[in-house]
Structures are given as structure tokens and as C-alpha cells.
Amino acid sequence: MAANNNHPQMLKLLLDCKADKHATNQADLTALDVAQQHNDKESISMLRGCFIPKVSTFNYKLKKQMGKYVRKASWVFFQDIDHISGDDRNALLVILGLLLSSTYQATLSPPGGLSQDGASSGQSVLKERVFLEFYIMTYVVFTIAFFLTLALLKQFPDGFRTALEVLLAFFAICFNGSIEVIAPSVLTAVIIDIFSGVFFLLMVFMSITYEVSKLSVAIMGCSFLPVGPFPPYGVLSGLFFSLILFDEFWKGTGLILVFNLLHCLNALVDPSHLNSQYTVIITAFWFFFHLCRICIKRFIKCCNTFVN
């Protein structure tokens, strides 16, 4: 309707609100097709969004297809969760809260206690096989309870839900870190890392289906990125922030500053962890990425104006 009535300001508002510019009407025409029929150059330039329309269409189809398969997989697990009554939802949240707290308690008070001998001090006294049998099942219970909780939060207001998702992300990071700390060997720690990687991928999939905020996914990803003394780690971190929060500049900037602050505070406790290059590279990569985005947008706008 906005394209048909030549209202470019309304088009801009709709696009800023993430309206689907590839949607079609009953005549199977997109907003761009309608604008081209009226030869409204300003609307055409705004709706193209990319100097090469085929590239824009390919990106749209790729995202749509990926989201389609992820939503199908999500529907298998959460098909009836939107139809739960308010009382049942509250009861389930209480039960899931108990499961989360009890599984986390198992990492604070492991069976058999912790070793107090020299190099193995603070590690579980359980043998590798017994440790993995116990904590893999604990991790599975925690994972299922965690994602069911996220699914039940879908009906909450956006701001309140995002705050809870961020808190749950920190809770999951603490849970994973607790198991890694008490792992009796390197092998058990690696196996737990594999589970944490699967856990993180599930969070990414849920963000694709808009079940969870990208901010909580980015926070959780920080704990799974390798932190070391070499510059490539900083590049990986900056790339990760760019991919997850590429369209949320201020949230990404705030998260990077907090992440770097925590890194500096950790260096105060253990000076051997101090590496200024690490924090500088992450921040520089983030701002360079957005500078490139601004330049590309300006270039596309100029090209579209020239073509029209």
C-alpha cells in the first residue's frame, strides 16, 4: 500500500521495523514491483536495498529456508507449548526452576567431594567413567530444562523476557564452568566442552526462530570462545560479535566493553593473563566492521541514485 501510494517515508518506517519487503500481494507482486509500475524512483531505491537485486533475493531465500527448517525442528519439541494455560505455565516454570537449581547444585557438591591433593586439588575424586556417566546425564537434564524454560518465556513482554534470557545465559555459563573446573582429567573437560558446544548451537538455532534474543546468544558465546595470548583469538571474538549482533550496534558495543572490562579485571588477579592486544583487536574489529557497513550502504545508495 505504501509503495502503491508513493509514500517513501512510510516505506522507510516499515523497513526500519523489519517489514518483509519480499512479501507479495494477491497479484504476486512485491512492494518493489509495485513501485516500479509507478516509476517512483525514491521508493525503488529504498526497496532495492542492494545494488544487485539477485544477491538480495538470494540472501532472503537462504535466510527463509534456514529459518524454515529450524522452525520445523523447534516445532517437534515445542508444538503444544503455546497452548498451555497461564496456571500450567507457572507450575511448569516452578518445576523447571527446581530442575535447573538441583542440577547446578550437583556441580557445587559433586558426589564423593573434591580432591585436596596437590595438583589435583579442587577436582572431583570420581573416576573418569563415573564422572562422565553422572555429569553427562546432569548436563542433558539441565539442557532440556533450560530450553523448555526459554520456550515458556515466549509469552512474556519483550524487555522482561530479554532480561530473563540474559540472566539464564549467565546461569548456563556458570553451570558449564563449574563442571569444567571439577573435571578430573583433560579428556573429561574436552567431552564437557563438546556438550557446551552443542548447547551453544541450540541457542543459535533458537535465535534464528526468534525464540531468544541475540544478546543472550552473544553473551553465552563469549564463554565458549578461546581466550589466549595470540591476536587470532581477538579476531575470532570480533568476528563472532559482528555475526551475532551486526545490526545492533549499541548492544554489541556495550557487550564488547563489558567483555574487555572483565578481561582486564581478570588480569588484575593474574597479571600473566594481561594482553592489551586481545582487547584492542576485538574493539577495533567491531568498529571497522560497522565502518565498512556504513561505506557499503553509502556506495549502494549512490549507485541506485545513479541507475535511477
Task: Indicate if 133 and 180 belong to the same structural domain.
Answer: yes
195 domain-assigned: yes
Band of pLDDT at residue 229, cut at 50, 70 and 90: very low
Domain boundary residue, one of 184, 213, 242: 213
Fill in the DSSP letter of residue 292.
Answer: H
Distance from the first to the final alpha carbon of the chain:
22
Query: Can you tell me which residue has the cell 563469549?
Result: 222
pLDDT exceeds 60 at position 97:
yes
Long-range contacts of 116-125 (CB under 8 A, 24+ apart): 120/184, 122/181, 122/182, 123/181, 123/182, 123/183, 123/184, 124/182, 124/183, 124/184, 125/184
Name the β-bridge partners of 30.
24
Task: Indicate if 195 and 256 belong to the same structural domain.
Answer: no
Task: Indicate if 104 and 169 belong to the same structural domain.
Answer: yes
13-22, 46-55, 180-189: which has the highest mean pLDDT? 180-189
218 domain-assigned: no
Higher pLDDT, 131 or 19: 131
Task: Indicate if 199 and 98 belong to the same structural domain.
Answer: yes
pLDDT exceeds 50 at position 227:
no
220 domain-assigned: no
Angle subtended by helix axes 158-182 and 128-152, to nearest 10: 180
Task: Indicate if 97 and 42 belong to the same structural domain.
Answer: no
Cα separation, 246 vs 240, whole angstroms: 9
Domain boundary residue, one of 168, 185, 213: 213
Structurally, how many domains does the chain consist of?
Answer: 3
Task: Indicate if 147 and 248 belong to the same structural domain.
Answer: no
Given a contact cutoff of 8 angstroms between Cβ atoms, the answer to whether 228 and 273 are in contact is no
pLDDT exceeds 50 at position 230:
no
What pTM value is reported for the model? 0.66
**Domain of 13?**
8-71
Domain boundary residue, one of 42, 71, 100: 71
Fill in the DSSP letter of residue 81.
Answer: G
91 domain-assigned: yes
Given a contact cutoff of 8 angstroms between Cβ atoms, the answer to whether 217 and 203 are in contact is yes
206 domain-assigned: yes
Where residue 87 falls (left for φ over 0; alpha for ψ -120 to 50; beta otherwise) is alpha
Residue 254 CB neighbours (<10 A): 13
Task: Indicate if 165 and 134 belong to the same structural domain.
Answer: yes
34 domain-assigned: yes
51 domain-assigned: yes
Cα separation, 251 vs 237, whole angstroms: 15
Higher pLDDT, 104 or 116: 104
120 domain-assigned: yes
Burial class (CB in 10 A: 0-12, 13-18, 19+), 11: buried
